Structure formats: structure tokens, C-alpha cells
Amino acid sequence: MRRAILTGKGNPSGRGAPQLLALLERRRRLATARGSKKPGSGAVELPVWGLHVGLYRPGDAALWERFIRDALPREGVNVLVFEINYHYAFKSYPKVAESNPVTAEDLKRVGAACAHAGVELVPQINCLGHQSGAGRSHGLLRAFPEFDERPDIPQDAGREALYCRSYCPLHPGVHEVLFALMDELAEACQAKQFHVGMDEVFLLAEEKCPRCRGKDPAELFAGEVTALHDHLASKGLRMWMWGDRFINAAEFGTGRWSGSENGTWPAVDKVAKDILICDWHYVDAVKTPAYFIGKGFGVVASPYRVADVALAQLEMMRHLRSQSDLALGMLQTSWSGFDSFVRAYYGELDEAVERNKGAIEAAVCFKALFAALRGEG
């Protein structure tokens, strides 16, 4: 897909939007045709039928390839967001890579499978936040500890000390490294769109950061969103991101996870409108897609593992789509790892094992959502 601005009715900045929507629609119809499924008659059509999967530990590329070729056409998926983060054998900065990373050859196989299935492959690197699991730094901050927003917090700190680290968006060296990683991963995936994460950013404008101390969190967040957006735009890529830091938690009653209680939400009015917002809510179908559409953003609703919530979000998005072209569709999320999700989808995980619960529930939610998208049941 060429980078484009998906706009609502009456928005004058809609250059490229019809071509992008038409391509998504062709991919959706190709996927459903290969799966011998037909979209439901009478329902408002949504152009994005997406699935998010993550690579949080070494995985099995052959398993992913089989799933993409077999299951995604049958379900009707036309976008696969592949959260890779630092689990790739980067050539630009090899020391950033996690252990046993995927290779360019692995991603070539994934890309070929996606092309066969009529699926757009959108790579993801978590930017700004989610730079650690509790205190233990992930690849970027492990390789470049000087980028850490809070280097004073020890590596062995537990969840009581912090949820996850952030890099400092004002460090003068961080973007040179990060942009090189993004460019390399985008090229390996032959991507036209790129997901930058940016959810659950809690460490920002920290008093113990000499560069960020005393600054407005919304200005810092908007500045980083803009830096990422402008770099991707210069490469012809459209930016996707999670939307929670743009949501006023007090106004929408979301709490601090799927909304912001740390002052970032005014940034929503300070960034480019051609960013695609992935609006995730897992417990309730919060009416924030309409909020993002009102701000001029294209939006997809993003459920996780509660089918009733996913179906309510789908109904909401179809209603919004009848009013605005900015209501783009659905992005089913999964947070157990790509391999676990695939095995849950095929019924290969033991339901009695507690650690399998998230993957199994996400797979059940995925099946229910996509059956409803196809107009079944």
C-alpha cells in the first residue's frame, strides 16, 4: 500500500485514500474467497480485518508460515501486525538483537506467505515505552543504557518499582539508532506501513532525567510521535500506533492502562492526522473510536480475549463506518506470543495449564470476531 491519509466525509485532505481502501478491500475479498467464505449481507463493510501477533521469545517460522497460508485466508484476515521489537538479527546495530532472533530469511518466508494469503504485513517495534520487563532492559536499552529515561532504577528491580522502562526521547543519539532499526525491519518485511507501539508509557518527563525534567508530558509525547511519523513518512511508510496515551482517562473512565492519567492526552491535538490509531480496550467497548474520528484520525478497534467486548466493538465500528470513512475496521490483539496463539487456534494447548489461558481466550475471541465479520452465526 502507498502511504495515504484515510479521511472522513468532508475532509479535504483525502489524497490517496480511495486507492488504499480499494487495495485493502481487494485483499479482504481475496482472503475470504480463498477461505470459501462470504461477507455477511446487509452489514456495513469495514476495510481492515486485522490480527496482531507478537514475537516475545524465539519462535518457529515454519509454524507461522503454515498458519498464515492456511488460517488467515479462511478467516478473512487482510492485515497482519507482527510485533518483532528487537527479536531480529539487525545488521545496523547487531548488539541490540535479543537472543535467537529471527533472520531476514525468516521474514522473507513470512512475507511470501502473507502475499500468497492476500495479507498486508505490518512490522512493529515498540517505541518510547515497553523497553523492559520490569527492571530488566530489552535490546535497545541493554545495548545503549545511556538512552534510559531512568537509569537510576536497577536492572533487578521488580514490578513494584516500575512497570517498564522508557527511552528518553530527548537523548541526542536515540533516533539515529532507532530509525536505522525501523528502516531495516521495514525493508526486511517489504512494508508500506509500520506500527510504532507507544502504549502504556508511564515513565516520561521524569524528574531524574536531566533532559526531560520539568517538561510537559504532552509536549514530549507529541514530539516523539512527530519525530517517528516524519521519519516514516520520509520513507513512504504510514504510521500505526496504539491510542491509549491520547485518551483522557478521567473523561472516558478507562483507568490508567487504556487511557492516560499522566498528562499525555493533550498530545492528540499536536500530531499528524494520517496516523492510524489502534484503539485497544479489553474489558468494555469504550466509545473512543468516535473520539478519534472526531479528531480526524483513522481508527481500528482492538479487542483481546473477551468475545462479547469484541462483538460490541464491531457493532460500534460498523455504525461509525456508516457515518465516516475514518472508521476503518478491527485489529484483534494477542499477547501470548505468535507460536502460542497459533497452537491455541488449532486447539493444541492444554486448557488446564494456567499459562495457556490468555492464548486460548484470544484465539476464541479471534474466531468469534471474524465469524461476525464474515456475517456467520
Every domain of the chain and the residues it spans: 17-36+47-373
Number of neighbouring beta carbons within 10 Å of residue 107: 24
- Name the pLDDT band for 217 (thresholds 50, 70, 90): very high
Alpha-carbon distance of 302 to 310, in angstroms, equals 8
- Is the confidence at residue 117, as pLDDT, over 50? yes
- Is the confidence at residue 114, as pLDDT, over 50? yes
pLDDT at 37: 43
Alpha-carbon distance of 182 to 189, in angstroms, equals 11
Q: What is the pLDDT of residues 1-31, one digit of tens each?
A: 322 333 333 333 333 445 555 556 655 555 4
The closest of 173, 150, 272 to 222, measured between CA atoms, is 272
- Is the confidence at residue 299, as pLDDT, over 60? yes
Third-level CATH fold of 17-36+47-373: TIM Barrel (3.20.20)
Q: What is the pLDDT of residues 308-324, one digit of tens each?
A: 999 999 999 999 999 99
pLDDT at 58: 87
Residues 6+ apart with CB under 8 A from 212: 149, 168, 169, 170, 204, 205, 206, 220
Q: Is the pTM of this model over 0.85?
A: yes
